[in-house]
């Protein structure tokens, strides 16, 4: 429903403009979102949920592996093998399995680690991700 959407697998849903839901039970809603693994959900503007049961909500968030979650603005959750990473807030990176980055400008790379509120600044530039 909408314009330029692709829902190409069983029970996939793509609503809005230029969304892709390419795996079973995946959902992409809003503008330019990609949900390309089983039970993945991308909602908002240019979010990517590529892990099984991953979720990316908001603006330009990335949830890469199984059960990864990225919510807010410019967050990346990308565990190394098992997934289950979480990045919530503004411009956080959780790159270790079962790691969490919450708040603003946090980088968490260790397994089962957490950074909350504001800590390590993110390196700049991150032009590759922000390119339209």
Burial of 96 (0-12, 13-18, 19+ CB in 10 A): buried
List, for residues 17-43, the tens digit of each pLDDT value: 999 999 999 999 999 999 999 999 999
Does the pLDDT at position 116 exceed 70? no
Do you know the residue count of the chain? 132
* pTM confidence score: 0.83
Check residue 82 and give its pLDDT: 82
List, for residues 40-98, the tens digit of each pLDDT value: 999 999 999 999 999 999 999 999 999 999 999 999 999 888 889 999 999 999 988 88
Does the pLDDT at position 132 exceed 50? no
d(CA 29, CA 17): 8
């Amino acid at each position: 429903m909408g314009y330029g959407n692709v829902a190409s697998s069983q029970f996939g849903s793509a609503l809005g403009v230029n969304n892709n839901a390419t795996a079973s039970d995946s959902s992409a809603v809003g503008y330019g979102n990609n949900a390309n693994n089983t039970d993945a959900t991308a909602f908002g503007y240019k979010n990517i949920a590529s892990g099984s049961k991953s979720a990316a909500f908001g603006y330009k968030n990335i949830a890469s592996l199984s059960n990864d979650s990225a919510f807010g603005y410019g967050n990346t959750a990308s565990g190394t093998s098992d997934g289950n990473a979480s990045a919530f807030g503004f411009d956080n990176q959780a790159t270790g399995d079962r790691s969490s980055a919450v708040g603003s400008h946090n980088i968490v790379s260790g397994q089962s680690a957490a950074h909350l509120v504001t800590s390590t600044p993110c390196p700049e530039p991150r032009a590759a991700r922000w390119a339209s």
